[in-house]
Amino acid sequence: MQRRSFVLALAATLASTAVAADRAQPPRVLAFYSAHAEGDHVEFAEQAVKFYAAAATKDRFQFEATTNWDDLNAERLAGVQVVLWLNEAPGGAKQRAAFENYMEHGGGWIGFHGAAYNDGSTHWPWFVRFLGGAVFFGNNWPPLPGWLTVDDATHPVTRHLPARFLSPDNEWYSWQPSPRTNPDVKVLATLERANFPLGLKDTIRDGDVPVVWTNTKYRMVYINMGHGDKIFTEPRQSRMFEDALLWIARPR
């Protein structure tokens, strides 16, 4: 009996040690982007790859980037703690199914700007639910800066931001319904109404326009910034991008 108890205790200790060792390993981050998307979206993605590659050295995570969306499969995602979509989303059924399985089993995701674009032609209802019900409704044009209000200054993603700040030139998306209406969604930053009307050719005139949020049912953050070459010119905003990754990568 004593021997059996010893064996069980030893097994439990070894399992605990293995889990601790696994958590001690640097998180693996895999970024996806398209090199053939809208030019301003490609420019942002290329800057984002450089930004996160530099952050990986400082923050101790493993970073890889790919333009091959077929890498969005179970084998490639095994052991990956965070997936980034920098300027687009998968269109193939196999890619989508692999991502759904990954997220439903504890995967982590950060999507920027066009990664969340969806409309009547997208035909991916799971992804709409994943975004908290948000469906693309409109945008401003040309890209313009916008004053943002931080909804929760204590959240790990936004804790280094001031209460309000001017975010650089971006194409801002509005959503219908607003993700804020979903009780599972926590909005972290919002485009201030004082900006409206925002745009010249295409205009956001009014409404609730969250720009950073998380669906608390998943390990995810959506960030609306991601159009053009000005996004990384605001250091506090860039810190938010870094904080978002570190928060998603942290074991829960």
CATH number, domain of 207, equals: 3.40.50.880
The reply to whether 20 falls in a domain is: no
Return d(Cα 80, Cα 63) in angstroms, integer.
10
User: Going residue by residue through the chain (252 aa), what tens digit of pLDDT does each one get?
Assistant: 455 554 444 444 444 443 344 456 899 999 999 999 999 999 999 999 999 999 999 999 999 999 999 999 999 999 999 999 999 999 999 999 999 999 999 999 999 999 999 998 999 999 999 999 999 999 999 999 999 999 999 999 999 999 999 999 999 999 999 999 999 999 999 999 999 999 999 999 999 999 999 999 999 999 999 999 999 999 999 999 999 999 999 876
- Domain membership of residue 229 as a residue range: 26-249
120: burial class by Cβ within 10 Å (0-12, 13-18, 19+)? exposed
Return d(Cα 118, Cα 175) in angstroms, integer.
10
The reply to whether 3 falls in a domain is: no
The reply to whether 208 falls in a domain is: yes
Q: 150: Cβ–Cβ under 8 A, 6 or more apart, which residues?
A: 158, 161, 162, 163, 164, 165, 188, 189
CB 231 within 8 A of CB 113: no
The reply to whether 16 falls in a domain is: no
The reply to whether 217 falls in a domain is: yes
Return d(Cα 110, Cα 82) in angstroms, integer.
7
Give the bridge partners for 110, in sequence order. 84, 221
The reply to whether 15 falls in a domain is: no
Residue 25: its pLDDT value, please? 87
The reply to whether 1 falls in a domain is: no
With CA atoms as reference, report the closest residue to 173 among 215, 124, 225, 235. 225
Domain count, the chain: 1
The reply to whether 215 falls in a domain is: yes
